[in-house]
Amino acid sequence: MKLSVIGAGYVGLTTAACLAQIGHDVFCSESDLDKLAKLQNGVMPLFEPHLEDVIEGVRKVGRLHFGSTEDAIVWGDAIFICVGTPPLANGDADLHAIEAVARTIAKRATGYRLVIEKSTVPVQTGAQLRKHLSVHGTNGSKYDVASNPEFLREGSSVEDFLHPDRIVIGADSPRATDLLREIYEPIVQQRFDCPIHSDCPKRKKPIFLATDTNSAELIKHASNSFLAMKISFINMVANLCEAVGADVTKVAQGMGLDPRIGPAFLNPGIGFGGFCFPKDVQAFIRIAEKSGCDFSLLREVEKINQRRVEHFVEQVRNELWVLRGKKIAVWGLAFKPNTDDVRFAPALSIIRSLQAEGARIQAYDPEAMEKAKNEIPDLTYCQNAYEAAKGADAVLLLTEWEEFRAIDWKRLGGLMERSLIVDGRNALSPDDLTSYGFHYVGIGGVSGTPQELTSLVNG
């Protein structure tokens, strides 16, 4: 089928590439001309595992094209809107980019178009879109509007798109529902050339959930807000574990064994970040407020998350006493591993707090340093984890990249001023580190002190 995708961010680029991968003929547009030129010249504007290979592969066989929004609107029978909906100052989602696309569709489209919201939008946006298209429609075009929220995670977006747990669509016409079922059929049947795994046919088939537009729009915000709530819950439990001398890892394990709770998203740490959870929780609070519902629960989720940064800095202060003049190594800047994205990354807030107290930061991240330099230019960026730890009074692990688990601890011990690791993600093993003489401080009561230090302290 000929499909159009408007917007080439994480969601748009993954959607366009994967729809082409499963066999559709896709035209993807981008209004940022620099980014568009990069894409047309085969240069990736972002780091995302597998995505570059998929794009290269489908462009080679002529199933993916990049160009202007106008050309995209003329191209496909179905148009996926994947433009950004960043937060406004009051927390509402900024919908001006969606409106601008709708206006262009109304002017340019001829014949029938299925307009699909894939960006994260507040409930009832579909109704607004439908009205807007009919008011501004000039060419006697017929429109259907549908919602098709995306649940992909950065760092695994290609896998999440091709092997989802569910595909949610919200449409108010059988024609629109049938068209979306046809578009996603290869994924529902798990019948496509998978760029990641060889044994795909055996994979679990996703559920195709067809509902009305409002419900589909709410599923997205409710899902992200629920996951954010789960993280804030375990972060509060972590504080309690620190206060009463329990181990949050064990508590989370015990909770997660109950299938009604499940082990996912029970990893305590320095708080959730990224371009989705913080803004979606805010937007959901606002949506509820405007509908007369006081979602105070989510306000608490936000407060708990905001306090994670100060809580972690306090832990570092407790270990280092005076922060001024201390040399601190930071491992990880991205809001999570396998992405170069530093938007709303807790690591950057922690660095700013430490710098404000006069600490000198030496940072390393495998992928996100270029983007971090735009946010915090005045800190030392290092080539690798060892260089960052040179002469440091402490190493802070702020993003759980796999490579930090494979560090040569003996070598590291020889480089640091003091063998202290403060792990903001509980990514490392206290036993391993203490066996190399490190003092280890994790989240939620997880810690370790090397034998000789213990005997020194206990005399």
Which active-site residues does the annotation give? 276
Residue 151 is a binding residue for ligand UDX (CB under 6 A):
yes
Give residues with Cβ within 8 angstroms of 2, minimum separation 6.
Answer: 24, 25, 26, 27, 75, 76, 77
Residue 335 is a binding residue for ligand UDX (CB under 6 A):
yes
Give the x/- contact pattern for ligand UDX in 162-181, rule: CB under 6 A.
--------------------
Site for ligand UDX in 249-288 (CB under 6 A): 265-267, 269, 272-274, 276-277
Give residues with Cβ within 8 angstroms of 323, minimum separation 6.
Answer: 316, 317, 354, 357, 358, 359
Nearer to ligand UDX, 143 or 272 (CB): 272
Nearer to ligand UDX, 156 or 190 (CB): 156
Nearest-approach distance from CB 178 to ligand UDX, in angstroms = 25
Nearer to ligand UDX, 109 or 350 (CB): 350
Calpha distance 144→122 (Å, rounded):
18
* Strand ranges (E), 77-190: 78-81, 112-117, 142-147, 166-171
Nearer to ligand UDX, 163 or 336 (CB): 336
- Candidate ranges 145-153, 162-170, 198-206, 239-247; the one touching ligand UDX (CB under 6 A): 145-153
Nearest-approach distance from CB 399 to ligand UDX, in angstroms = 8
Count Cβ neighbours within 10 Å for each residue of 310-343 and write b for 16 or more, e otherwise. ebbbebbbeebeebeebbbbbbbbbbbbbbbbbb
Calpha distance 203→189 (Å, rounded):
10
**Residue from 59, 107, 108, 153 that binds ligand UDX (CB under 6 A)?**
153
Is there a contact between 31 and 6 (Cβ–Cβ < 8 Å)? no
Torsion of CA 2, 6, 11, 14, to 10 degrees: 40
Residue 152 is a binding residue for ligand UDX (CB under 6 A):
yes
Count Cβ neighbours within 10 Å for each residue of 79-90 and write b for 16 or more, e otherwise. bbbbbbbebeee
Nearest-approach distance from CB 235 to ligand UDX, in angstroms = 8
C-alpha distance from residue 261 to each of 20, 26, 222, 312, 445 (Å): 36, 39, 16, 26, 22
Calpha distance 133→98 (Å, rounded):
12
Counting residues that bind ligand UDX (by CB under 6 A) gives 19
Neighbour order of strands in the sheet with 420-423: 380-381, 360-364, 327-331, 394-397, 420-423, 439-441, 447-448
Give the x/- contact pattern for ligand UDX in 202-241, rule: CB under 6 A.
----------------------x--x---x----------
**Residue from 336, 343, 371, 439 that binds ligand UDX (CB under 6 A)?**
336
Nearer to ligand UDX, 195 or 269 (CB): 269
Smallest CA-to-CA distance from 223 within 168, 179, 286, 156 is with 168
Q: Within 13 Å, how many C-alpha atoms sit on residue 290's CB side?
A: 12
Nearest-approach distance from CB 258 to ligand UDX, in angstroms = 16
Nearer to ligand UDX, 68 or 223 (CB): 223
Nearer to ligand UDX, 154 or 393 (CB): 154
Residues that bind ligand UDX (CB under 6 A): 150-154, 224, 227, 231, 265-267, 269, 272-274, 276-277, 335-336
